[in-house]
Amino acid sequence: MENCLCNITTASPEETIAAGERLALRLRPGSVVALRGGLGVGKTYFTKGIARGLGVREEVTSPTYTIIAEYQGNLPFYHIDAYRLEGDEDFSSLGAEELLYGSGVSVIEWSERIPQSIPKDALIVEITLQEQNQRLITLRNMPQ
């Protein structure tokens, strides 16, 4: 796959959390992680791991109507869930784009819903269902 940084297969939610924690070591102020993958593939578990790796003590959850949840770890941490957004304009109207260019770390679930809003230097993480509880997690840079 083009621009592929690595592939990992996890076999449980805990392993997906651990993968997120490892990725967090590579994140810096302003990093954006754009998650892709269908319903229930494990995006929120992966996000929990990133948050943990960034020193967020509060539990990251996925409340139905919250689009942006802000946490504080070693850095500000923004968990964005674009599932209920109509598209990029909807995202802009929340004034959320500027968060992505600030000094926090942002993780976006359903990033495919807001393609124009994803910064060019974002890290794309695609999660796909494999057999049983296995998930394939693929990291890559945005195609330039």
126 binds ligand ATP (CB under 6 A): no
Where do we find the tokens 């003590």?
Answer: 57
Q: List all residues 6 or more positions away from 122 whose beta carbon is below 8 Å from its beta carbon.
A: 32, 33, 34, 111, 142
111 binds Mg ion (CB under 5 A): no
Measured CA to CA, the distance from residue 122 to residue 112 in angstroms comes to 13
69 binds ligand ATP (CB under 6 A): no
Among positions 44, 106, 111, 117, the unique one binding Mg ion when judged by CB under 5 A: 44
Phi first, then psi, for residue 71 (nearest 5°) are -130, 165
Q: Which of residues 20-59 bind ligand ATP (CB under 6 A)?
A: 37, 39-45
Q: Residue 39 touches which of ligand ATP, Mg ion, none (CB < 5 to 8 A by kind)?
A: ligand ATP
Q: Which of residues 74-113 bind ligand ATP (CB under 6 A)?
A: 109
Least Cα distance to 45 among 57, 61, 30, 23 occurs for 61
State the residues that interact with Mg ion by CB under 5 A. Answer: 43-44, 62, 109
